[in-house]
Structure 1
């Protein structure tokens, strides 16, 4: 504290109204009270004297800052009048009264107090507080000497480290860990911005992701992968020097801090930009636990990412990357694992053209999870194609698969759960290999469907407007015979139906409806209730809505897959194009879309909405996927669906000279806002994002959609 500041506080004593305080004139104070005041006024930490039975408040400038706009009028006034909101707290008024009454002292660490008068940081604060008696020569208590040191920022940093530990416990990938580091380092180190840097094969040898204090990301944006770019020249030298020397680097003015985060096979560097005000010791104190927590999480995440890459590669080779889309029929599928990461599943789906022009429809489930279940699933799916292309009759296909499953049963270990890591070839399951499947065909021109079930859950039918006009309910489970699972010979009768325009046939695996501790009927009833509330839309939107709604209402205990098939109305139109991962592709995609929309007679207003959505999705794909994208548009009366599918990579630099201030996800939020339906999910090929818009077309009937 400067001499001038101390003099300013001393001058308040000389201006005290003697009639408004029991203290009297300064020269009349008891010697010990005067000595205590001299100590208070010269101390650099917040101190105060609470004098006499009324606890008249005398304090130094540092304490005055705690009082905010109540200083200087509070000087010499009873403490209960100065801060009535606080005085009644058990940690405040009663403590001072105890000191005055008994001559005892008190100390409080981390005391939580609400200071509503503070305009700079209103709300709860944390303090280290102490109170000691000032005795007169006769032993009576003249005043209470009070010290109050705010520890709010230090406690906030400790809590940030605690939140870091909690968040890292569920961060499984390197990308997830880095997101947690960026989010929590802002609070832990009072940073204006944080940049996490990882080794990269790129030109600079490093890639970076950055976050700024001013960013306020939505939950949807938080879930998206980070934006990675080549490390810029502004931080490259700092990153290289810190990585080489290790430990922590702090610039002279404290405006730059760099911390190495050792993660075993990968060593990250965290750089922080701060205000040029020096780095407090309590900030440096959290560096060590921060480094240890992040380093351990990085080591775990590196192993996880390596295993996940293998699992994703396996999954991508086992499920079809794309489904056929003839003009007369629309097909969509969703696969939702019970947990992301390294465990592949046994659920499968497929659709492909048969030699006579019909489409085969397949959805099934190999019991169990893990590499063994996924491998069996891949072999079964391949066998389905071979059998159906030879003889597409459901009975013939399933008879051929019975032999396949029986042979597979002899190749895998006995007395081991499917998916166990202890598998040894040469032993059998002992009859425990369990595969269910729904197989069918559809004639695109007529909508005629033939189905057969091998122990699989009954499919659902969502009736369109034409079917409901005949008295059919909005949603129902098909009443059809169910034969034994594959590998057990038996009769599997076929069921025939015709899909009208607007109808959607929905096949699914048991993970969608089965829950522990409840009857199967409960899951089926829950599914029918969800289907009854499904808004009109394409098979793609219906499939996503069903999975999202079922998981939201009852959770998820197993992998689940959904295959949705619908008839397209007359005049259905489709256009698709491959978009290279180049910045100029965004403009080219917009021009391509406008040309097609104009030829389809879509109004200018609807064109603007659709093209805006396409621009955002292609921009997102170019920036973050790093691979070519497949852009398609489907239009039927009243509805236009846009799909952008990529095979995006994760973790490598995706931008060269990109804007480090960019925030991924803002474009997706815009697409969600302007569209009537929106979805995004990972597929076996990469990431698929789609949206639907209600449109008017001069060249197509404008009747309401038949769904």
Structure 2
């Protein structure tokens, strides 16, 4: 607010008030003051610990003889005669303390109006909401007193917008929240959000009347790329840093994407400018509109809030991307394909996604058709933890390929970690690990542990009791690596149809809940799972214990398959013709494998939709893989990123993104999403009806 206040001048300079010099104001405070001073409705901001009052002309009329001396003074002093009354001072303090908005539709408040200074009772629709700075801290209380509920609703919506934006992490989140607010609360026909993206721009749009279900909301917004020299009003506002308001005409005619853009007659374009981001918001109406000063102030406040959230999101994405790339680059990008084993893994970062964690897993083939499996946890959430994790994982592979005996491998790792701790002169290195060798010919699983949670074994659903049982294996925990001590291994039966789950403590630990409760919940969920497929069981394990986790989560599941499965895959380009190619290929492949027609129809439809979704939200080529056993069909669709674009522009030929996930929920028996080293994977599983498995799959088929 370089020009200072617009409506009411303070009785003394700004620097002598609790707000200080305007040049040092937080952008969020600047936006709120602009909103207050530019509004024709009675508004007042009580700022800081002293609740310094800033208000507009309409609120000055409410104050009566207390104006103009009230401007810049603490609210408790200005309203000393009524501050102790219920519904006055106590409400201010509660809103400032809790951040929860307060609304009173019929507030009868004593107000000094007359020249003699007598009290009158006036009725207001009064709303109070917390004001936050750019870092999300509560710095004041905003009051609005109006005779219409519309203004109060917009104030509540603005407060709700600030609250929703404070919970966003990524630019996808910011775009989703900002556009939903614009269409539902500002009552515009369409809104667009755009940011700089290398040499160009990317933007996403929301049109009023679009039907978005939960599945749509879980998918990333559909971003469109714009060239760096685009003449679109959004790009012009982002480039120039100047807000523009078109009251009538065809402002989007030259850059219209579709009929929705062509219908826009009035358009407001507001820049989003921060230290590391350039962007803009546009709001379009299909009728001429004058854009009153109060509306412009409201839109400016909205843009300030969105800009600060977008700045935080960009910083988070940069840090998060670096940390996650480091984390996942040290994990196996592909798990081994061994005929008698089905293997899946799941890794999810904890609450602080900016940090690189120390959870790790691995699986690799050994001589004689055996399989080595490992899951460990290095304490810490920093680059050092991730680097140590990489050293431990690499050393474990080297030791196992020389002598795979679990006890021997852990003894070697123990010496390594002790040596690293001495070299680093640190006694804070804490590494736990479970390592095992699965032998399909002997039907045995040999395991050893160094302070890690015991693996969970899900037995095959055979015999008189068809319900599979899951129980924790009695593996001597031993001390964590680097502390010496005895390393013992145990061998257990690992029959065809059995599945073992190795997991980190983040799967079962929750704040405020006992660890035994978490272990019980995990065992119960795995026992009750409808299928034994490892990918499905990983998803079940991650969601077994309710509540958010503050630690990283890693799960590795290995099934000793009753029979080998058949598998096939296809790489599809980012083109609108790709879903059709996938449908044709998959129908032919499943028909050749004698899969029941009902399963083929459901699987082809779901896979086509998932391919469409991958191409739309990632813009890269996609990898479709199918795996058929005698019990189930597993399909996965993997993309390689989230920032590309479909290579052709006819994206309207591709079906609705939300429809894909809705179809999966209806037609599959289990489904989920997995992060990968780069990109993400969506998968689903359809059980084969008993007796309709068709041709028995052959090894290597």
TM-score, normalised with respect to structure 2: 0.72
Is structure 2 residue 474 aligned with structure 1 residue 479? yes
Residue aligning to 1:395? 407
Residue aligning to 1:617? 610
Shift of 1:509: 1.3
Residue aligning to 1:450? 446
Q: Which of 539, 548, 554 is equivalent to 1:544?
A: 539
Asked whether the 8 Å contact 1:156–1:187 carries over to 2, the reply is: no
CA 1:515–1:454 in structure 2 vs 1: closer, same or farther (change >3 Å)?
same
Asked whether the 8 Å contact 1:360–1:441 carries over to 2, the reply is: yes
Q: Whole-Å Cα distance in 2 between the matches of residues 160 and 652 of structure 1?
A: 33
CA 1:163–1:247 in structure 2 vs 1: closer, same or farther (change >3 Å)?
farther
Asked whether the 8 Å contact 2:444–2:495 carries over to 1, the reply is: no
Residue aligning to 2:115? none
Q: Whole-Å Cα distance in 1 between the matches of residues 241 and 465 of structure 2?
A: 75
In the TM superposition, 1:301-450 aligns within 5 A as 301-339=313-351, 341-412=353-424, 428-430=425-427, 432-450=428-446
CA 1:340–1:642 in structure 2 vs 1: closer, same or farther (change >3 Å)?
farther
Q: Whole-Å Cα distance in 1 between the matches of residues 154 and 651 of structure 2?
A: 30
Q: Whole-Å Cα distance in 2 between the matches of residues 168 and 206 of structure 1?
A: 22
Q: Whole-Å Cα distance in 1 between the matches of residues 542 and 570 of structure 2?
A: 29
1:456-498 CA distances to partner (integer Å, 9 max, x unpaired)?
11111111122x5599971111123222221122322221123
Aligned length: 551
Q: Whole-Å Cα distance in 1 between the matches of residues 165 and 519 of structure 2?
A: 37
Q: Whole-Å Cα distance in 2 between the matches of residues 220 and 177 of structure 1?
A: 18
1:583-642 CA distances to partner (integer Å, 9 max, x unpaired)?
333222222211210111112222111001110111111222233333221222231111
Shift of 1:265: 2.3
Asked whether the 8 Å contact 1:110–1:128 carries over to 2, the reply is: yes
Asked whether the 8 Å contact 2:573–2:621 carries over to 1, the reply is: yes
Is structure 2 residue 226 aligned with structure 1 residue 215? no
Shift of 1:232: 9.5
Is structure 2 residue 119 aligned with structure 1 residue 108? no
Residue aligning to 1:158? 155
Asked whether the 8 Å contact 1:331–1:564 carries over to 2, the reply is: yes
Q: Which of 674, 678, 694 is equivalent to 1:700?
A: 694
Residue aligning to 2:528? 533
Shift of 1:667: 1.7
Asked whether the 8 Å contact 1:646–1:687 carries over to 2, the reply is: yes
Is structure 2 residue 502 aligned with structure 1 residue 510? no
Q: Which of 173, 177, 183 is equivalent to 1:176?
A: 173
CA 1:662–1:201 in structure 2 vs 1: closer, same or farther (change >3 Å)?
farther
In the TM superposition, 1:254-293 aligns within 5 A as 255-278=266-289, 279-293=291-305
Residue aligning to 2:49? none
CA 1:486–1:90 in structure 2 vs 1: closer, same or farther (change >3 Å)?
closer
Is structure 2 residue 588 aligned with structure 1 residue 577? no
Q: Whole-Å Cα distance in 2 between the matches of residues 659 and 589 of structure 1?
A: 17
Q: Which of 225, 239, 243 is equivalent to 2:238?
A: 243
SS of 2:362's equivalent? Answer: strand
Asked whether the 8 Å contact 1:334–1:562 carries over to 2, the reply is: yes
Asked whether the 8 Å contact 2:575–2:648 carries over to 1, the reply is: no
1:37-95 CA distances to partner (integer Å, 9 max, x unpaired)?
xxxxxxxxxxxxxxxxxxxxxxxxxxxxxxxxxxxxxxxxxxxxxxxxxxxx99599x9
CA 1:479–1:111 in structure 2 vs 1: closer, same or farther (change >3 Å)?
closer
Q: Whole-Å Cα distance in 2 between the matches of residues 111 and 556 of structure 1?
A: 40
SS of 1:627's equivalent? Answer: coil
SS of 2:516's equivalent? Answer: helix
CA 1:232–1:665 in structure 2 vs 1: closer, same or farther (change >3 Å)?
farther
Residue aligning to 2:669? 676
Q: Which has the larger radius of gyration?
A: 1
Q: Whole-Å Cα distance in 2 between the matches of residues 395 and 226 of structure 1?
A: 50
Q: Whole-Å Cα distance in 2 between the matches of residues 629 and 237 of structure 1?
A: 31
Q: Whole-Å Cα distance in 2 between the matches of residues 215 and 435 of structure 1?
A: 51
Residue aligning to 2:194? 197
Gaps of 5+ in 2: 1-103, 111-118, 128-143, 249-264, 697-701
Is structure 2 residue 631 aligned with structure 1 residue 638? yes
Shift of 1:518: 5.4
Moved more, 224-233 or 312-321: 224-233
CA 1:645–1:235 in structure 2 vs 1: closer, same or farther (change >3 Å)?
same
Q: Whole-Å Cα distance in 1 between the matches of residues 655 and 281 of structure 2?
A: 19
Residue aligning to 1:591? 584
Shift of 1:546: 1.6
Q: Which of 553, 556, 563 is equivalent to 2:549?
A: 556
Q: Which of 161, 164, 183 is equivalent to 1:167?
A: 164
CA 1:312–1:654 in structure 2 vs 1: closer, same or farther (change >3 Å)?
farther
Asked whether the 8 Å contact 1:332–1:563 carries over to 2, the reply is: yes
CA 1:604–1:170 in structure 2 vs 1: closer, same or farther (change >3 Å)?
same
Q: Whole-Å Cα distance in 1 between the matches of residues 584 and 236 of structure 2?
A: 47
Asked whether the 8 Å contact 2:521–2:544 carries over to 1, the reply is: no
Q: Whole-Å Cα distance in 1 between the matches of residues 322 and 105 of structure 2?
A: 60
Shift of 1:220: 3.9
Residue aligning to 1:462? 458
Q: Whole-Å Cα distance in 2 between the matches of residues 639 and 268 of structure 1?
A: 48
CA 1:653–1:590 in structure 2 vs 1: closer, same or farther (change >3 Å)?
closer
Residue aligning to 1:13? none
SS of 1:304's equivalent? Answer: helix
Asked whether the 8 Å contact 1:158–1:286 carries over to 2, the reply is: no
Q: Whole-Å Cα distance in 2 between the matches of residues 243 and 462 of structure 1?
A: 56
Residue aligning to 2:649? 657
CA 1:248–1:218 in structure 2 vs 1: closer, same or farther (change >3 Å)?
same
Residue aligning to 1:37? none
Shift of 1:236: 4.0
Shift of 1:219: 3.5
CA 1:342–1:497 in structure 2 vs 1: closer, same or farther (change >3 Å)?
same
Q: Whole-Å Cα distance in 1 between the matches of residues 223 and 460 of structure 2?
A: 45
1:235-293 CA distances to partner (integer Å, 9 max, x unpaired)?
94323432344332111336211111113222111122213141344322212221221
TM-score, normalised with respect to structure 1: 0.72
